[in-house]
Structure 1
Amino acid sequence: MNIGIDLGGTKIQVGIEKDGKIIHQTKALLKEKDNLTSTLDQVKQFIRPLTKYKVDGIGIGVPSVVDVEKGVVYNVTNIPSWKKVALKDILEKEFDLPVFVNNDVNCFVLGEHKFGVAKDYSCLIGMSIGTGLGSGVIIRNKLYTGINCGAGEIGLIPYKDKNIEYYASGNFFSSFYDTTALEAYKAAKKGDEAALKQWREFGYHFGSAVQVVMYTYDPQAIVIGGSVANAFPFFKETMEESFSDFIYPESIKKLKIHVSQNENIALLGAAALVDLSLEHINGVV
């Protein structure tokens, strides 16, 4: 059993992975995000009750670039006080357990690979669509982070006049239609034609993101997660239409696209970090 922590920009979730399920789960909003000591104390308070169980270690996913070997996180999204935090050392000193830290979307794709809809694939990409667009990479059954934990940042690749994330995430709705992805989703479910048109347009842009994934990684499968994933039925058709100009049509025909089914999958992936060696986390064998 391992402790898993999913630290977001607004909330924290903690639990223990046992036999592919999360037990003893707790979650709450992060408090006093401008105060490093306060937020670290909150994280510790969530972990402490779980250390009474026989656990092998702690895995934590954070929305930032991570020095995976040293467990240092940098410039954590929406937590202003976390500019450079030696999270591994801090938590290991506090709990006397091995601690492993990685990017939250890397934890998402690892969770899908170990416990979710992508268990049968050796090469896959996880794409988390929320306010932004993040991706995680599994190559030959190994989590690949790159040298600086920057592998898979598809959303930051230049696209049109901005980048892919600007057009293929929740940002699309606020930037072009003065609404949110959630409001557009609710309206589309009611059959609102304007909202349905927005999702169709979104599908073409997201299809471009998928093409970038195919040209760079050529995976067997893509797993879509994040808050926008619920709306997949509304943009699936136009996403697939956008593949018509993909230069390797046989490759795109083979690609499998799944939607995440487990709300705790990133938490499971964080816990799974404990079972991976640093060699496997950082390299491809």
Structure 2
Amino acid sequence: MTTKNTSSRGRWPLRSIRDLTGRTSAEPATGGVGTVVCVDGIDLHVRADGPVDGPALLMLHGFGASTAWFDQLVVRLPECRTIRVDLLGHGGSARPMTGYDPDSQGRLYARLLGELNLNEVTVVGHSMGSLFGVATAEYSTRITRLVLIGEGPDTSTGTLPPGEWMIHLPWIGPILQHHGPAFVTNRVVRRAFAPGFDMGTAFTDPRRGLDDARSLNHPAFTQSIKRRKAWTGRLGLDARLDELALPALVVFGREDRFYNVEAALTRYRAVPTITTAVLEQVGHTPMIEAPDHVADLIREFLSAGDKAAETSS
């Protein structure tokens, strides 16, 4: 569709302003290496790997990321049936104007599990994906265990990058998000890893971090952060996991630069169903920085659950 330019010569065309402000409206799914699945009229990009009869893992990536952030973990768990989803507003999934609060997303991914007819599912969430994983468990009995990677109980245990507030400003925010200097965005992405980590080993595509961070439309960016704070402010993840009473594994990197690791762990350790693990010399993204260790932790967690089930039967 073309837009007729009715501006007079010498003025900045209105269409140029629209182009500059970037993605401020709804957008359809674009798909990718997986399949686009329609759930209640919303298109989600979903990728499935591994044997259909393997232990089912629902992997939900973090804010500003994509399914690619689990690539290294998936190849180390070949015995599992891994279902990766580009979160709403991210990657190849649709980018609507609304629906970015944890409750809406929890219902959405719970219905996805029904569409895929998956049972006894273990959620593996990274960062903000952990919130949506907990929310999904609150809406679905198909989830039996949870693995949370790099996510505190609420925002009181974390910090956002300096200047993050500017992205929320009308007009200015979208311009900065989509057209700001690449080195600034890359600096924020780099903060998700421990100091000294070799970013050349993080992704197959060296532009992955930058492209994923810029992929969100502006409503997805601003609403996800605001709704997250309100949701965990009502009840933190530690309290929600306590109410769910499901086995949970919480994994942190000691060098996490988004969370106060000890403050977060103190709260999680007070919940009897939660097991915690801390990886030394690892930052906010353990499944990329230490994929072998994280895969072993998940495998042991699943095995412990299977043994417990055998004992009780």
TM, length-normalised to structure 1: 0.29
Q: Which has a greater percent of strand?
A: 1
Between structure 1 and structure 2, the one with the greater Rg is 2
Instruction: Give me the TM-score of the superposition, normalised by structure 2.
Output: 0.27
